């Protein structure tokens, strides 16, 4: 995004350099070459509903809301920006904004990216783990979590492998967000 940034997003724009540095350090420690991968979207996390509502208002000034529904018990808004947000070598146009849930985050701001690894859903974990170094995965504080988030009406299975160090998470999916949302109408 260039030009004037919505006031409601000032904290997120200021947080982007921290996120990029942390993402680079974490991916390097995992032996993961993100530049070679399809990065689908970037996501934020917050602890207060007022923060989520403020960010939503800001994102609406820079794009459109293309989906908003409950996923795993809380609202999640998906935005498509009219101009990509520069995140490393990518211009990312899709933003995921979940409303606060039961978990409190150490940091409110940018929290994860999602990588699309195309192929059989049942083999997602193997494909993702093959990209990561064994020594990176056994570092103190690194966690690996399998899940299958689902929104009402989604017809594509959406397994997820999340690798996190507690402040930055890299998630792997077999489908893009747009493909998942479009499957609802199929």
In this predicted structure, what is the pLDDT of residue 1?
63
94, β-bridge pairs: 80
What domains, with CATH codes, occur in the chain?
7-183 (3.10.180.10)
Contact status, residue 161 vs residue 114, Cβ threshold 8 Å: no
Q: What is the distance between the alpha carbons of residues 117 and 101, in angstroms, rounded to a whole number? A: 27
Contact status, residue 108 vs residue 46, Cβ threshold 8 Å: yes
- pLDDT beyond 80 at 180: yes
Contact status, residue 59 vs residue 42, Cβ threshold 8 Å: no
- pLDDT beyond 90 at 32: yes
Q: What is the distance between the alpha carbons of residues 159 and 156, in angstroms, rounded to a whole number? A: 9
Q: Above pLDDT 70, what percent of the chain?
A: 93
As a whole number of Å, the CA-based R_g of the chain is 16
Contact status, residue 38 vs residue 91, Cβ threshold 8 Å: no
Contact status, residue 181 vs residue 67, Cβ threshold 8 Å: yes
């Amino acid at each position: 995004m260039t030009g004037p940034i919505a006031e409601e997003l000032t904290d997120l724009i200021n947080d982007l350099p921290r996120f990029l540095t942390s993402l680079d350090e974490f991916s390097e420690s995992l032996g993961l070459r993100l530049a070679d991968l399809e990065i689908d979207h970037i996501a934020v996390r917050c602890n207060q509903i007022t923060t989520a509502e403020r960010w939503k208002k800001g994102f609406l000034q820079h794009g459109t809301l293309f989906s908003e529904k409950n996923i795993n018990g809380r609202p999640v808004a998906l935005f498509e920006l009219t101009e990509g947000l520069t995140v490393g070598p990518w211009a990312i146009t899709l933003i995921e904004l979940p409303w606060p849930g039961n978990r409190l985050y150490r940091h409110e701001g940018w929290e994860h990216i999602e990588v699309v690894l195309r192929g059989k859903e049942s083999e997602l974990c193997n494909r993702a783990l093959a990209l990561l170094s064994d020594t990176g995965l056994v570092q103190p504080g690194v966690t690996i979590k399998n899940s299958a988030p689902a929104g009402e009406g989604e017809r594509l299975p959406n397994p997820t492998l999340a690798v996190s160090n507690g402040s930055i998470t890299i998630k792997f999916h077999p489908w893009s967000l747009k493909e998942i949302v479009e499957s609802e109408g199929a």
